[in-house]
Amino acid sequence: MNSTDPNPDEQSSWYAVKMLFECFITGRPDASKIDDDYTEDKTYEESIYLIHANSLEMAYEKAEQEARSYEMSYQNVYRQDVEWKFVRFLDAFHLFDQEPADLTEVYSRHISAPKRTKTEEFVRKMFPETKEQD
């Protein structure tokens, strides 16, 4: 049992909670610092946390507390101000009651697409961050 669970007599379970964070970058970059890695693109982070809790509601509470502690501000190598903010929960579900083991699936979802969708097209659209396989 986790000591932060309010009722240790209740049965705890494992939950997966998917969250979205957004990165805000402000200020002009130092021109002398700009290199090949510099981009004007906006960045989001999708995170999935494994949470031990007595209920889905408690899993959300624990996830939000963790998400808020993840929010931070700093200056990047280009001397711009960077701020990471928790945006919202994307998904959450009960995984299992027993302890996780090797090769335990912690997240999955079914995604519908038009019948004639080509796999390569689907991957490009839904997972643009993935690289083409040779």
Give the pLDDT confidence of 68-122 residue by residue, as tens digits.
999 999 999 999 999 999 999 999 989 877 788 888 777 777 788 888 989 889 9
Residues 8-65 pLDDT 10s: 446 889 999 999 999 999 999 999 999 999 999 889 999 999 999 999 999 999 999 9
Query: Is 33 a member of any domain?
Result: yes
Q: Which helix (H) or strand (E) holds 94?
A: strand 81-96
Sheet with 43-53, side-by-side order of all strands: 43-53, 13-26, 81-96, 72-75
Q: Which pLDDT score, from 0 to 100, does residue 133 have?
A: 59
In this structure, is residue 118 part of a structural domain?
A: no
Sign of CA dihedral 54, 57, 58, 60: positive
Residue 49 covered by a domain:
yes
* 6 has a pLDDT exceeding 80: no
Asked if 107 contacts 122 with a C-beta cutoff of 8 angstroms, the reply is no
State how far the alpha carbon of 7 is from the alpha carbons of 3, 12, 38, 74, in Å: 9, 9, 49, 38
Identify whether 120 is part of a domain.
no
Instruction: Give residue 40's domain range.
Output: 13-98
